[in-house]
Structure 1
């Protein structure tokens, strides 16, 4: 019994990467409890570690004088922990963002919001998933090349939404290779190749500017709410690590929808 007790006492605690990530990603800035500022929603146990849904939601009250400037998703145990950073357009009133990410190990996932008061606020959740960054691509190489840079835009009706909120979705055909996936034929690792920048506008007013990494899933998919400014066009521009730039725009038939 004594020996068992000593062995238990000598077992090191699980390593927590979060303090080091605060230093590396946020330059050791103070980060406050964000329970009244930002919410993050993910499944506790993911069905597919390569496409784990995540939703970010502002909890700021309508009469709060502060504005959310950006939200950063950090998947603590991933090889490249910063999954995405969303810069919110100054007049877009983006209140909710959903996307899909890869999760490589059981991990905490943090959402860090920067507000117009100059402070950072954090919320976190825990996800049980493994192998998402090394999972084989869902599409073969030829199909992925054929879809490269193809964009689709959808707009959704939100009857009775507070403040006239709109909801839209942008989808980009791209393998978003993580650099950790193996070619099943050559048995060689496929080089990292992913969308690292995406910008969205209604007419010339910025809605979202997104910095992405290897943790965003194949065929990046961003769904978000925003306030319409009566624009007639929705525009998108994406760039990837291979030096490609993809652009598209769509007519908004009923901007007041």
Structure 2
């Protein structure tokens, strides 16, 4: 409840800022962000490859659902989700492996102020394609953790893998739930101090020893990250997840094959 109230206050305050956030400013911001992430590489219209689904206005700016839908059958090697106006815009860069199935990729992000969110695909020939959508939300990067600090430390790094059955038994729709505060460095404690940034830097998922994806993360990824994807069952169909955060802590978990 406290998080929702703070996010709402930031959203109200952000209306004034949004009035001056016209299309030219958004384009200029994107040009700077894209240059930092992709250098001088040209970025083309990606509407024939991707569809980005996000709410027009978020109920909770610290837990904004993002869905990237793959269109057509053109091979895509990497997908990046970018929150343009966040202090650290890159929420997740997914390097897709042989066991990744071309279904929707979903995650949750923080949104610090009214902004464009971009999804950028890199095809196997190295070309870049982008789609974007504007969202009205604010305060997500500074919203306090919803979990007491002692509980955070006790469960940090624990994971759940929720899997569903599909008509095609070789395809396994899944949701990876990760216990990690993904501290942004912008959150204040009750004493007024700032909690140091500590966020997921890398998440690797494999099935039967075959890579599903490698994700590079940052502070724009939400607290307790949730990543939904579909994998192709390979080898013994057992799933392994490995993670590292910005404090160099490493976590790993093994999941037996879906019975």
Interval of TM-score (by shorter of Structure 1 and Structure 2)? 0.7 to 0.9
Q: Map of 1:184-203 to 2, 5 A cutoff?
A: 184=190, 186-203=191-208
Does 2:180 match 1:180?
no
Task: Give the aligned partner of residue 171 of structure 1.
Answer: 177
For residue 248 of structure 2, give the secondary structure of its aligned residue in structure 1: coil
Deviation (angstroms), 1:165: 3.0
The corresponding residue for 2:123 is 115
1:101-158: per-residue Cα shift (whole Å, max 9, x none)? 0001111100000001221011111111000000010001011111111111111122
CA distance in 2, matches of 1:174, 1:215: 13
* Equivalence for 1:213: 218
Asked if 1:37 corresponds to 2:49, the answer is yes
Q: From the superposition, tell whether residues 83 and 12 of structure 1 become closer, same or farther in structure 2 (CA, over 3 Å).
A: closer
Aligned partners of 2:21, 2:157: CA distance in 1, in Å? Answer: 46
CA distance in structure 1 between the partners assigned to 2:170 and 2:254 by the alignment = 23
> Structure 2 CA distance, aligned partners of 1:170 and 1:15?
36
Scaled by the length of structure 1, the TM-score of the pair is 0.88
Distance in 2 between residues matched to 1:113 and 1:120, nearest whole Å: 6
Greater fraction of residues in helix: 2
Look up the SS of the partner of 2:25 in the other structure: coil
Cα offset, 1:27, TM superposition: 0.6
Match of 1:241 among 208, 232, 246: 246
Asked whether 1:68 is paired with 2:76, we answer: yes
Aligned residue in 2 for 1:19: 31
Question: What is the TM-score of this pair, normalised by structure 2?
Answer: 0.87
How many residues in Structure 1 have an aligned counterpart in Structure 2? 237
User: CA offset at residue 164 of structure 1?
Assistant: 4.9
Instruction: Tell me which moved more, 12-21 or 128-137.
Output: 12-21
Cα-to-partner distance string for 1:164-217 (whole Å, 9 max, x where unaligned): 532011111111100000012x20111000111100000210001000000111
Contact map agreement 1:82 1:213 (CA 8 A) in 2 = yes
Distance 2:140 2:101 in 1: 32
Q: Which has the larger radius of gyration?
A: 1
> What is the Cα deviation at residue 95 of structure 1?
2.6
Is the counterpart of residue 97 in structure 1 residue 105 in structure 2?
yes
Aligned-partner SS, 2:48? coil
Distance in 2, Cα, partners of 1:147 & 1:81: 27
1:154 aligns with 2:162: yes
Q: Structure 2: give runs of 5+ residues left out of the alignment.
A: 1-19
